[in-house]
Amino acid sequence: MANRIFGSVGWYIQGPGLLEEIGRHLKPLGRRIAVVADEVVWGIIGPAFDKARGDIDPQHLMFAGENTREEVACLVDGASDSDVVVGAGGGKALDAAKLVAYRLGKPMVSFPTIASTDAPASRISILYTPEGAVDEIVVLPEPPRLVLVDTAVIARAPSRFLVAGMGDGLSTWFEAKACYQAKGKNKHGGRPTLAALAIAERCCRTILENGLGALEAVKRGSVTDALEAVVEANILLSGVGFENGGVALAHAINNGLSALPEFHSAMHGEKVAFGLLVQCLVEGAERDYKRLKQFYTKVGLPLHLGALGYEGQPEDVADRVASHVFTRELDKIANEPVSVTLEGLKEAFLHADSLGRREEGLE
């Protein structure tokens, strides 16, 4: 019998105004700070880092936008003299910073400026090819030492990011539940704990209860209790929940879609959200599908392939995604409590697309 394993991020701090206190939070970890961030993100956070020079010595390392092997090697060279590596921005910049910190043996700090994924609180780094397809999912020995989430910064970001994070976060419960029922393995290689299930369920419930209010807050650029709750769910509860609860078909489908150039403009959480609808249909979870469909409609998550920017024939996508899943995602299929076949997956994929189009009056 496999052991039950649970792991978590070192420290997590969330609230408005943390950016202005960045020096105080980073100083205990070291003085020389390498900050991996793209030009836009550095424009947002750079002034606060410059003001903190009495406490820390920050060095900006330009992130080119894709977490590739070549990009990481370049960043490692630039951060070789640092004491701490900070990843700032979205999931790809943070994932690159994780690999840089690991290769240099330095502590890593996540400073997300958007709440679009659970990457900030995860020890996983997803490498991509230069073309934007998933290259390798790297499970690192340790999670980030510290996660700093300034909700005032996140409140000023475009609302699409927050909604995508909700899509990623919602899947946490349904995939963890599937993994537990299937007696599958989480990202630590062990059985999910009851704590992981509780966190995953709370993540989903928090998003369903507060998602619409959080979206309205971001559209106003304001920090509210609803936004604080959803940001914590998108980042902390989802990050701890998926690593310890396990992932299943929703993320397998996301990876299949991510391998197709036609879907590179869609965000991770948007593709996961559609994959979750397919997972519900594969499992015969009609009640869950209907509940999710209602929420998706309220906040703008995708119900069909067209909402992910695809304008071609759905049969072609179904064939390619199903082939990818049964070639490269067998570990996630093993975390499903029902039998999943190639043809059954294609059928559920097309059915989800058709139902979504019908819901929006497109067929």
3 inside domain:
no
CATH of the domain at 273: 1.20.1090.10
Beta bridge partners of 141: none
Please check whether residues 166 and 127 belong to one and the same domain. no
Please check whether residues 100 and 176 belong to one and the same domain. no
Please check whether residues 305 and 350 belong to one and the same domain. yes
- Boundary (domain end) residue, out of 155, 189, 206: 155
Please check whether residues 219 and 165 belong to one and the same domain. yes
pLDDT tens-digit readout, 247-274: 999 999 999 999 999 999 999 999 999 9
219 inside domain:
yes
Please check whether residues 211 and 190 belong to one and the same domain. yes
177 inside domain:
yes
Number of domains in the chain: 2
Please check whether residues 261 and 238 belong to one and the same domain. yes
Radius of gyration from C-alpha coordinates of the chain = 20
140 membership: H or E segment, kind and range? none
* Distance, CA of 1 to CA of 190 (rounded, Å): 10
Q: DSSP states of 193-236 as a string?
A: PHHHHHHHHHHHHHHHHHHHHHHHHHHHT---HHHHHHHHIIII
107 inside domain:
yes
Q: Mean per-residue pLDDT for 192-211?
A: 98
Please check whether residues 67 and 190 belong to one and the same domain. no
Range of the domain at 181: 159-359
Structure-block tokens of residue 312? 């071609």
Please check whether residues 77 and 169 belong to one and the same domain. no
pLDDT recorded at residue 118:
95
Please check whether residues 344 and 308 belong to one and the same domain. yes
DSSP H stretches of helix in the chain: 22-26, 39-51, 69-78, 91-104, 151-155, 159-181, 194-220, 225-232, 238-245, 249-258, 268-283, 286-299, 314-328, 330-333, 342-359
4 inside domain:
no
Please check whether residues 205 and 308 belong to one and the same domain. yes
CATH of the domain at 54: 3.40.50.1970
Q: Per-residue pLDDT for 133 more than 90?
A: no
Please check whether residues 113 and 175 belong to one and the same domain. no
Mean residue pLDDT of the chain comes to 96
Instruction: Report the predicted TM-score, pTM, of the whole model to 2 decimal places.
Output: 0.96
pLDDT tens-digit readout, 180-196: 999 999 999 999 999 99
Please check whether residues 45 and 164 belong to one and the same domain. no
